[in-house]
Amino acid sequence: MFRRHVATLGALAGVCALAVTGCGSRAASVASSGSSGSGDTVVQIGVDSPLTGSLQAPGQGLRYSAQLAVNIANKEKEVPGVTFQLVAKDDEATASIGEQNATAFVADSGVVGVVGPMNSSVAQSEQSVFNAANMVEVSPATTNPSLSQGPNWKTAPSRPYKSFFRDITTDAVQGPFAADYVYKTLGIHTVATVDDGQTYGVGLVETFTQEFTRLGGKVTVAQTATPTTTDYTSVISAIRSSSAQLVYYGGSYPAGAPLTKQLKAGGLNIPEMGGDGNDDPTYIRTAGSAANGDYATLPGAALTSLSTAKTFISEYQAANFPVQYGIYGGTTYDATWSLILAVKTALSADGGKMPSADTFRSQVEGAEQNVSFNGVTGPVSFDKYGDTGDRVITMYKIQNGSWGDGVYSAAFAG
């Protein structure tokens, strides 16, 4: 009998372990070095992104791109009398940790606004916290449409949080753009879809499926996995017995790369197409030669093809940051810059004298809505939902082990 008690204890301990790894590790807050000399007012800008875990590569790129914007604003004295300082927090791509970070940012009266997060699910948990404090959150990477246009964004869009902004095109454009490309350009009319069960992945597959079936295409298999799934054998046997000629994946590369690898190992020589979540060099490293011929879309034009991004790229390289700026580098720089300009506008309306933190935050929120400038990725401004007007998406195809500069880029009318 005693043995069974121990086994029960063990099971209990297992549950405890689950809970501990789920939310135990507090995100470390890293205050970046910003020299506040000559009696300047220090204004802090928060950054929230995954700095550890499987999505750390684009997350770190996001953080350093924001750092670059802050460094340049300080160097050029963009806002006279103000020295900006970056405060980076790690959300581990986990909604609950993001919410803790948001609470900490709001509680810190020195922080005026936040750039981030990277994941739609994290944004969902942070929005209400920031909104209650009238604190601007401008995301350079989250693409789920409901974040800015509410859960009924298809039929009755309405903005749920006036403090949430983003300068990246949503999946309301990204999914249909991919569907259009698959149906018309590739001439493929039957596909299988797999998502990772997260806000971003499910939403992306939904918008893709809707447009694809509207065009006359057929989705033969629709599967849901998890963000940490590495074994797709049962999904693949379902795809094998269907006549799908392409797999559309909604999720991020740590789970997307094993999918394509196992597809090809399973004798299915059909490409996998994903959204911005799949677009990372690690995807190719993990999947090896199986990745060749796969596709991924990325909102915005390719940075390397933009004349406006040349300075950003060379400045970033010159700054010797430890990681590449990644796929959200351009939008992050612009998002940070929009916040800097909003601070500038708000401060000059106050006659250069900083009011209390609460008042200043809501003033910055108002100024952010009316920001308009030419950024790295093109003109930046926000519509009545806090979204960007930019509808350009680029399709990338892996050839010879590289994502290349994109095979097709266009503004998608919808």
Structure tokens at 235: 């999904």
Which one of residues 29, 96, 282, 292 is an interface residue with another protein (CB under 8 A)? Answer: 282
Q: Does 293 bind another protein (CB under 8 A)?
A: no
Which one of residues 128, 224, 324, 409 is an interface residue with another protein (CB under 8 A)? Answer: 224
Site string (312-351) toward another protein, x via CB under 8 A: ----------------------------------------
Of 88 and 342, nearer to another protein (C-beta) is 88
Site string (11-50) toward another protein, x via CB under 8 A: --xx-xxx-xx--xx-------------------------
The pairs formed by 402-409 with CB atoms below 8 angstroms and a separation of 24 or more are: 402/284, 403/279, 403/281, 403/284, 403/296, 405/302, 405/304, 405/305, 406/298, 406/301, 406/302, 406/305, 408/181, 408/185, 409/301, 409/302, 409/305
* Tokens 């796929």 found at: 327
Site string (191-210) toward another protein, x via CB under 8 A: ------x-------------
Which one of residues 27, 47, 55, 122 is an interface residue with another protein (CB under 8 A)? Answer: 55
Residues 255-274 that bind another protein (CB under 8 A): 257-258, 261-262, 265-267
Cβ of 36: how many Cβ atoms within 10 Å?
14
* Nearest-approach distance from CB 281 to another protein, in angstroms: 11
Q: Does 56 bind another protein (CB under 8 A)?
A: yes
C-alpha closest to that of 146 among 170, 111, 180:
170
Are the CB atoms for 227 and 254 separated by under 8 Å? yes
Q: Does 132 bind another protein (CB under 8 A)?
A: no
> Does residue 183 sit in helix, strand or coil?
helix
Number of residues that bind another protein (CB under 8 A): 56
Rounded CA separation 353/394 (Å)? 44
Q: Does 243 bind another protein (CB under 8 A)?
A: no
Q: Does 229 bind another protein (CB under 8 A)?
A: yes
Which one of residues 215, 222, 313, 319 is an interface residue with another protein (CB under 8 A)? Answer: 222
Query: What element of type H or E holds 381?
Result: strand 378-381
Q: Does 7 bind another protein (CB under 8 A)?
A: yes
* Cβ neighbourhood burial of 357 (10 Å; 0-12, 13-18, 19+): middle
Separation in Å, CA 287 to CA 55, 248, 258, 277, 310: 16, 16, 6, 15, 31
Q: Does 232 bind another protein (CB under 8 A)?
A: yes
Which one of residues 85, 139, 144, 286 is an interface residue with another protein (CB under 8 A)? Answer: 286
* Nearest-approach distance from CB 94 to another protein, in angstroms: 12
Q: Does 401 bind another protein (CB under 8 A)?
A: no
Are the CB atoms for 120 and 199 separated by under 8 Å? yes
Extended beta strands in 196-269, E state: 218-224, 247-250
Rounded CA separation 412/414 (Å)? 6
The bridge status of strand 295-299 relative to strand 272-274 is parallel
Q: Does 57 bind another protein (CB under 8 A)?
A: yes
Binding site for another protein (CB under 8 A): 1-4, 6-7, 9-10, 13-14, 16-18, 20-21, 24-25, 52-57, 197, 221-226, 228-235, 237-238, 240-241, 254, 257-258, 261-262, 265-267, 282, 285-289
